[in-house]
Amino acid sequence: MNCFKDVMATTKTDRSFFRKTRGNAIVKLVREQYLRHDIPCLAESCTVCPCSSLGDQGLLSKESDHYIIPDMSVVMRYLEILEQEEMTGIILSQTIVTSLQQHDKSRTYRKLRHIINDSRRKSVIFYNEVFADTQTPRLPGEPAGERDWRALRKLADWYYHHLGQKKRIILLSEIHPQQESNDVCVYSMQAYLNAYWPTVSLLQNLVHALANVELEDDMERIRMTSSKKRGNTGTAVQGFTEYKSTEELEVGIKSSRFFSGTLRCRSDARDQAYVNSAGKDILIVGNQNRNRAVHGDTVVVELLSENNWATASNEISYEGGSTEEDIEGSQWVVQQTEKSRPTGRVVGILNRNWRSYVATLQEDSPDGSFHLAVPLDSVIPKIRIRHQEAKLIQNQRIVVRIDHWPVSSQYPQGHYVRSLGPIHHLDTEISAILVEHGISVSQATQGFSEASLKEMPIDTPEMPWRPEQDEIKRRKDLRSLTVFSIDPPNCQDIDDALSIRELKNGNIELGVHIADVSYFVKEHSLTDLEARARGTTVYLADRRFDMLPSVLSERVCSLRENVDRYSVSVLWTLDKSYKVLDVWFGRTIIRSSCEMEYEQAQKMLDGESTPAGVDPALSRKLKPFVEKLAQVLRTMRNQRLAKGALELESSEVKFKITKDNEITDIIPKDSMEIHGLVAEAMIMANSYVGKRAYQGYKDAALLRRHPPPSATQFDRLIKAAKSQGFSIDFSSNRSLARSLEIITRGCQNNPEITRMLKTMATMAMNEAGYVSSGQFAVSDYYHYGLALEYYTHFTSPIRRYADVVAHRQLLMCVGDSVAVNDANVRGTVMTQDSKIAEICMNLNLKSRESKLAQRDSTELFQSLYVLQHTMTGPLIESGIISEIRSNGFYVFLPRFGLKGPVFLIEKDGSPIVPLSLVSNKAKEEDYIPNSHIEVSLPTNVSVTSADLPHPINFQLFDHVRVSLKLRKSHAHRHMVYMTLVGLEHTTKLGSSQVDAVTTAQLSRDTMMRSIAEQEEAKAQANAYKDRSKEELETRKQMRKAAKNNGSSIYQLLEPFRKMSIIESTTSQ
């Protein structure tokens, strides 16, 4: 706290308190304490204290007519309500902070701290225990709880009088009697919400739900006080045991008898989880060994004896993400093999990492008030919740929270928070994605507070925004320079533009011009804080959720054509061989002459002088610029590749949605040359700005680093490459690049294999992340993928907050007068290592979640596509075997960027290899009889049968034809899976395989006669037949649904159609 820095006047006093030791003994501590007389109240309306100089500190809003002071009983029970965005004006007392520390409630403390640190919440922490006017010494024999309450009352009185009796102070308590008054009053949480938030149903629902929950903390307290008679927590569910005491856990960890780490449950094998402790995975098998730990919790595990070690399952889950079946009862069959891994059992929890979960009530939930909610995320167990009218939420996606998981309960206990809408409606499913990935309510509703919008420049049709004369004078005027932007079609938020020109001396000037967001978004403004919290614009398959208000992102900042725009430019001077001689950074004003689309620019490069959509005269003028630019950037790119930069692949796709609201196609993201060239210009700007910011702020530059991968991450890639006769050398990025290049050349006839291997390499990489340079050694700044010493994000400030920070840092470095003045007048945290590190942590989290949200929305649209395109008949596509598992394989469809499972073995163990592989007359549900399947992981599956003259081999990267299917689900998204239709013989590699397949083809007719008839009866009776009937029924229903209300689903797409073709920002 800043207020401790300048001690003006202090008074010495003694303070004694009691603390519980680890062994639960109570000791009395006496501490010398210096009382202070000058702690600021942190209220905006105060004229006495020096509060305004406290930088980015949130202050109690002068607009509010009351502030609230919660006591311990409210903090423990209603923390979740205090966390809601609506709740502002909270005064957190030192009394509570101390109490939390004494009770080892560091997690609760961190959550409260999080509220205080968010300046939008207008909440403060007040050190009342060390403040002369509010300190409250304990009276002889006075219980701690009573003294604490007196301290809070004293604090409330002080605030009331200090603020001139103008603000009502409300003490919140569940245990002290209510007291109405116009100055200081006491309310329960329910009474407070009734008085101030009577119509906010979310808060009202929550307060009801939370009033009834049994808190895990209560349970702990009960155990603490009666540790000898544990019976009072109920009979333990079989296999569950009480957690060991904190002391036992600590001793165990120190002596390496126990291990701690984060529990990660597998979504594809639901009775398996891992705990990674010190780089080693410990397998946790079965619900009982997981012992009430939930995915994401920090747990302590005890190793099981070696005869309990097991191999991790390699099966494709038959349920995928769409199971509603119980895993609780399932038994793990221990397979003892050489490759057995250490297994363990959870004996304690260090930290619960519970969040809000999207869930659906289990189908046919019985009447009564308790129900099971099935979380959308299949790694989360079912949650028992209380709801009086289950019918109201029966077919809805709902948000639930877990409260605790007693040893006597099969399921964790939680409460209902709110409903997101009916299941399988597009808007509901999109909301579900946003909640699952922690995207804030304000961003999800595309909203900005009124106060934040007041900070925005005015730009209306009547009063269009125009640059100011004084500001123009201050900037480098580049309006006469030919500048243009290259983006996907219909791009609204244009971050970047380019320019190139020949100088009189024959040198070349290359320019990258970026929207000047930091000019409009001042540090500490509400818009700034909101953008910092959001971190990034979230792009989903059909819509986006902006980081900044649209007046900036689409208009005033966006570098539109034929209007004057402020920008921050990087101008390089290059000699004739494109060597960089000099670089200039600074604020400029530009006037873009053209918003070009990628395709148009590419056509110019391909020789077309007037591509469609560009004015012919303009096009003829721009063509030489585009060509010169390409020439320069190709050189830059090649230089970087020579240094070891990797050309990696992603399987990102975009959706084509027609005027009639139908998804007509899913197509891979464009990869024309021009994409790479524009990206190269951005990479260049980012790396030069990163270096410049580092030179200016050695200890606090926001950089983006990409750590090199480790050997184990490459295991799968190495084996896959080996199966195709290639080796991978990953000792450095340069050698890895060379390996990939050899593969590219070797697979010219089969580019898909190159693509698969490159995708695998991409997946094996570490994630790149933002860091503050003060936290790492210089050698750790290196960007492995791009082969650059320094890198940052500078080129997309409209959609990424990291870039806003980079702009501020750069501009302060180069002494831009406005930036320097802003920093001096308003105070800046942009030069503080710890603050930048904190911002980076949030940005890393936000960008990861935003990518996951994008992936989920892609899957949602892929399943919508399959739904639409299987209504009238089968949907057959070609794909590549991308991963072999013990019961089938995954097939990747490059055209759709989609990976789905193909099963060769049924759940009951019977082989289901389609007869259609050897006979084109076979029906879909006919299987090769008497077949035997041999899997050699990770590259080969061989199918033999007495009825087959030769085995059928499936190898990694084989091309196959599959039929896409949709497995319908109630509690989850519909899952796309595939059935095998045929092999694509033409692309087979390897002579032995060609032989096998050819022979199979030759013998097809003779074999057919013998087996098809013989097996027909069997096939009729096959269980799969029933499933397939069920599917037909499902399909019929879906067709019906589409006729009745389906159109409304697609109607929903209409407003987003324009944005349907989404270019995600370059992920470097």
Yes or no: say if 171 and 183 are a contact pair by the CB < 8 Å rule.
no
Closest by CA to 316, choosing from 900, 855, 723, 859, is 900
User: Of the listed pieces 33-41, 217-225, 437-445, 890-898, which binds Zn ion according to CB under 5 A?
Assistant: 33-41
- The residue whose two tokens read 């120190």 is 254
User: Of the listed pieces 39-47, 128-136, 315-323, 643-651, which binds Zn ion according to CB under 5 A?
Assistant: 39-47
User: Of the listed pieces 49-57, 66-74, 440-448, 961-969, which binds Zn ion according to CB under 5 A?
Assistant: 49-57
- Tell me how far apart the alpha carbons of residues 814 and 110 are, in angstroms, rounded to a whole number: 38
Does residue 392 touch Zn ion according to CB under 5 A? no
Closest separation in Å from C-beta 46 to Zn ion: 3
- Interface with Zn ion (CB under 5 A), residue total 4
Yes or no: say if 513 and 567 are a contact pair by the CB < 8 Å rule.
yes
Does residue 53 touch Zn ion according to CB under 5 A? no
Yes or no: say if 928 and 914 are a contact pair by the CB < 8 Å rule.
yes
User: Of the listed pieces 37-45, 336-344, 400-408, 450-458, which binds Zn ion according to CB under 5 A?
Assistant: 37-45
Q: Which of 3, 35, 39, 46 binds Zn ion (CB under 5 A)?
A: 46
Closest separation in Å from C-beta 59 to Zn ion: 10
The sign of the CA dihedral 718, 722, 723, 724 is: positive
Does residue 41 touch Zn ion according to CB under 5 A? yes
Output 46 or 433, the one with its CB closest to Zn ion: 46
Closest separation in Å from C-beta 162 to Zn ion: 6
User: Of the listed pieces 44-52, 258-266, 544-552, 944-952, which binds Zn ion according to CB under 5 A?
Assistant: 44-52
Yes or no: say if 402 and 294 are a contact pair by the CB < 8 Å rule.
yes
Output 58 or 549, the one with its CB closest to Zn ion: 58
Yes or no: say if 862 and 896 are a contact pair by the CB < 8 Å rule.
yes
Output 162 or 341, the one with its CB closest to Zn ion: 162
- Tell me how far apart the alpha carbons of residues 945 and 209 are, in angstroms, rounded to a whole number: 60
Yes or no: say if 897 and 652 are a contact pair by the CB < 8 Å rule.
yes
Expressed in angstroms, the distance from the first to the final Cα of the chain is 37
Output 57 or 322, the one with its CB closest to Zn ion: 57
Closest separation in Å from C-beta 158 to Zn ion: 10
- Please give the DSSP secondary-structure letter assigned to residue 911: B
Closest separation in Å from C-beta 123 to Zn ion: 16
3-state secondary structure of 1049: helix
User: Of the listed pieces 48-56, 108-116, 359-367, 1031-1039, which binds Zn ion according to CB under 5 A?
Assistant: 48-56
- Tell me how far apart the alpha carbons of residues 1066 and 1014 are, in angstroms, rounded to a whole number: 57
- Please give the DSSP secondary-structure letter assigned to residue 49: S
Output 43 or 538, the one with its CB closest to Zn ion: 43
Output 119 or 485, the one with its CB closest to Zn ion: 119
Output 41 or 601, the one with its CB closest to Zn ion: 41
**Phi first, then psi: what are they for 1034, rounded to 5°?**
-55, -45
Closest separation in Å from C-beta 42 to Zn ion: 7
Output 42 or 402, the one with its CB closest to Zn ion: 42
Q: Which of 9, 48, 175, 1002 binds Zn ion (CB under 5 A)?
A: 48
Does residue 54 touch Zn ion according to CB under 5 A? no
User: Of the listed pieces 35-43, 56-64, 233-241, 709-717, which binds Zn ion according to CB under 5 A?
Assistant: 35-43
Does residue 169 touch Zn ion according to CB under 5 A? no
- Tell me how far apart the alpha carbons of residues 997 and 476 are, in angstroms, rounded to a whole number: 69
Closest separation in Å from C-beta 184 to Zn ion: 17
Output 41 or 830, the one with its CB closest to Zn ion: 41
Closest separation in Å from C-beta 95 to Zn ion: 19
Output 46 or 151, the one with its CB closest to Zn ion: 46
Output 8 or 278, the one with its CB closest to Zn ion: 8
User: Of the listed pieces 20-28, 41-49, 454-462, 727-735, which binds Zn ion according to CB under 5 A?
Assistant: 41-49
**Phi first, then psi: what are they for 249, rounded to 5°?**
-65, -45
Does residue 60 touch Zn ion according to CB under 5 A? no
Number of Cβ atoms within 10 Å of the Cβ of 554: 18
Cβ-Cβ contacts under 8 Å for 741 (sequence gap 6 or more): none
Distance of CA 530 to the CA centre of its chain: 18
Closest separation in Å from C-beta 38 to Zn ion: 10
Does residue 398 touch Zn ion according to CB under 5 A? no
* Helices 991-1002 and 1004-1021, axial angle in degrees (round to 10): 80
Q: Which of 38, 45, 49, 662 binds Zn ion (CB under 5 A)?
A: 49
User: Of the listed pieces 43-51, 528-536, 659-667, 851-859, which binds Zn ion according to CB under 5 A?
Assistant: 43-51
Residue 116, token pair as written in the block: 């205080």
- Please give the DSSP secondary-structure letter assigned to residue 469: H
Does residue 62 touch Zn ion according to CB under 5 A? no
Output 46 or 966, the one with its CB closest to Zn ion: 46
Kindly tell me the number of DSSP H helices and DSSP E strands found in the chain.
30, 37
Closest separation in Å from C-beta 6 to Zn ion: 16
Closest separation in Å from C-beta 710 to Zn ion: 54
Distance of CA 896 to the CA centre of its chain: 22
- Tell me how far apart the alpha carbons of residues 162 and 49 are, in angstroms, rounded to a whole number: 10
Cβ-Cβ contacts under 8 Å for 910 (sequence gap 6 or more): none
- Tell me how far apart the alpha carbons of residues 459 and 470 are, in angstroms, rounded to a whole number: 19
Output 50 or 1055, the one with its CB closest to Zn ion: 50
- Tell me how far apart the alpha carbons of residues 663 and 866 are, in angstroms, rounded to a whole number: 10
Q: By CB under 5 A, name the binding residues for Zn ion.
A: 41, 46, 48-49
